Structure formats: C-alpha cells, structure tokens
Structure 1
Amino acid sequence: MKSIFLLASLAACALAQRLHIAEPTTGQVVGAGQYFTAELHMDNTLSSMSQKSVTIVATACYDVCDSPDQWGPGTVLYNGSFAPQYNASAPQKGLYQDFRVQLPEGWPAGESVLAVAHQFTVGASEIPVFDYTTVHFNVTDPENPGN
C-alpha cells in the first residue's frame, strides 16, 4: 500500500515539474532557413531534480496538424544538455533556457509543430522522468512571404 502512495506522489512531483515552450508561441511566424529562439521554461520545484537533456524537433504537419499520429518524421534542431537558470534582470521568466535553432532551407510553408522531449531525474533515488510538449507555429518562405 505504501508503494502506491510513493508512486502517486512521484507522479505528482513529475507533473509539477513540467517543461513549457514559451517561444515560439502558438501561431508565431518563422521563416524557412531562419534562426529563431526556442525558449523553454521549467516550473519551480520543491523536490530535488537533476536535468539530463532536451531534444527539440520540428515537424511540418501540413493539413494533419490535429492528428499527431499522421505527422511525418521530425527534424532534430537541438539535442543536448538542459541547464535552465534564473535571470535576475528578468525574474518574471523564472527558470528558463534559450536555444537558438534554425529551420532548414526549403522548409515547407504552412503550419509546423515544435516538439520538445525532456529527460530528468527526481528525488534522492533519481527516478527517471520523461516529459514531452509541443507548440504549433507557422512557417513562411522568406523569399516569397505570401506563401
């Protein structure tokens, strides 16, 4: 019975430490082949936590953006360490990290999805947790902004 309560409390801790994509925002326009900022925020936590990594992936979803099971393979824009920090000059941001990433040249215009997979450990026994979040953004062709 104690193990059920332990698992439930660990799950609650993991959910409380969710990662959020602050930028790009839903519907934000990004140019194909252009650099943009992926700003990732972490909720505050009372338990011990060790950041491991994040993977930032973009996927052109064409006309099936509401059906993730139909999205094609994504393009990895960043895969590596995640070390969110507080910035005294922007305390309203809380715990965050910015990543400068680039959409490849020739990326199709229209709606795309930015997905972030986040791995970290929680507690003294370092229980592994995997978090996943997405945001939809729009892509334009910088050479033909009408598309």
Structure 2
Amino acid sequence: MADDRQLHVVMFPWFAQGHITPFLNLAKSILTSGHRILFFSTLVNIEWIKKKIVPRIELVELQLPFVDGLPAGVESMIGLSKIGRTDLVPLLFQEIDLCEQPFGALLKLLSPDFVIFDATLWWTSWVANKMGVPTINFIAFDIAAMSFAKG
C-alpha cells in the first residue's frame, strides 16, 4: 500500500539564478503531489525568487556569515557582477562554505524528511546526514559544464 502522507522537503540550490530556476521547476513538480516545499536561499535571492514563485513554496532565509573583504549584500555571483568585482569570487565561496552551521540549525529546527541540494553546496549532505536527514543531489547544470569541474 502506498504511503499517502505529505513529505516535508527542503530544497537548497546554489545562490545563482541559473541554479535556482531548475530547482523552482522541480519544486513545482513536487508540489503537484501535495508535498510541502521549504526553499532555502539568501535574502537577496529570495527577493528575486518571489517574482517567480508559486504560492505554496515556503521561502526560508539563510543568513550568510560576514567575510572580511566581501561587501555587504553580496550573496551571489550576480551581486559581484553588479559591483564589478568578480575578483572577489573566492570570498563569496568562503562565505557560502561558512553557511554549514546556520544551515544545520535550520534543518534541526524544521526536521524535514529529506533535502534536495545543489552539487556545488558540497557540505550539505554531510550536515544533513549527521542529523539523519537523507539527501538527494540535484545537479542543476549540464554535462558540458561538469566536464570543466576539477576532480
């Protein structure tokens, strides 16, 4: 017999529009089955997402920690491009990697059934698995882009 209970799903894409959009499309598909979607992102990205969102997706703000040298309000690659400082990409990556603890605190508070995360947020599965929360790695870019990845 099928389990008809509503699943509590956290979705956590990389902080770039090109990654967020496929996650939103996947979220819309999951919603058709009646499940609850919590969509994690930063305040700046949430403002953009609100223009694209379907009403039943719940947006959860993830606070980014301060990183010395990175201007306030820069929360994505587009933020760096807008200020003409793509040279600060390493600091943005450092800021995002420091989200482990705030992400873990939100997971503990929300107790989801599982997390769908972006491959570029490599530490997500470690944090979730420590709490017994299963993860699904959703790769939001194509194989051509992956061929340039280190590893």
| TM-score, normalization by structure 2 | 0.27
Larger fraction in helix: 2
Question: Which has the greater radius of gyration?
Answer: 1
- Report which structure shows greater RCO (CA 8 Å, sep ≥6): 1
| TM-score, normalization by structure 1 | 0.28
